[in-house]
Structure 1
Amino acid sequence: MESSIGHQVRITNRAFQRALQARIEPHGITWGMWWFLRVLWSEDGLTQRQLSRRVRMMEATTVTALNNMERAGLIRRVRNTEDRRKTNVLLTDHGRNLRDVLLPLAADVNDIGLRGLSPQEAALLLSLLGRVRSQLEAGVEVEADPDTA
Structure 2
Amino acid sequence: MDSEFRHWGLRLGYLIHDVSRLRRVNFDRELAPLGITRSQWWVLAFISRNNGLPQTQLANELDVGKVALGSLIDRLQQGGFVTREPDEKDRRVKRVFLTDNARQLLNDIEPVSSDFNGRILEGVSLEDIKSTSRMLAKMKENLIVLSNGNRSKGGAEDDDLD
Common fold by TM > 0.5: yes
Moved more, 24-33 or 55-64: 24-33
Q: Which residue of 1 aligns with 2:73?
A: 66
The CA deviation at 1:12 is: 0.2
The code of the aligned residue for 1:101 comes to D
The CA deviation at 1:122 is: 0.7
Indicate yes or no: 2:20 matched with 1:13. yes
2:96 to 89, 101, 120: 89
Q: Separation in 2 of the partners of 1:11 and 1:133?
A: 17
The CA deviation at 1:76 is: 1.0
Superposition TM-score, scaled by structure 1 size: 0.88
Indicate yes or no: 2:62 matched with 1:55. yes
Size of the aligned set, in residue pairs, is: 144
CA RMSD of superposed structures (Å): 1.9
**Equivalent residue runs for 1:121-136 within 5 Å:** 121-136=128-143
Q: Which residue of 1 aligns with 2:46?
A: 39
What residue ranges of structure 2 are gaps of 5+ in the alignment?
1-6, 152-162
The CA deviation at 1:143 is: 5.3
Q: Separation in 2 of the partners of 1:17 and 1:78?
A: 31
Larger radius of gyration: 2
Q: 1:43-75: CA deviations, max 9, x gaps?
A: 111110121122211111100100111111111
Residue identity over aligned pairs, in percent, reads 23
Q: Separation in 1 of the partners of 2:132 and 2:94?
A: 38
What residue ranges of structure 1 are gaps of 5+ in the alignment?
145-149
The CA deviation at 1:11 is: 1.1
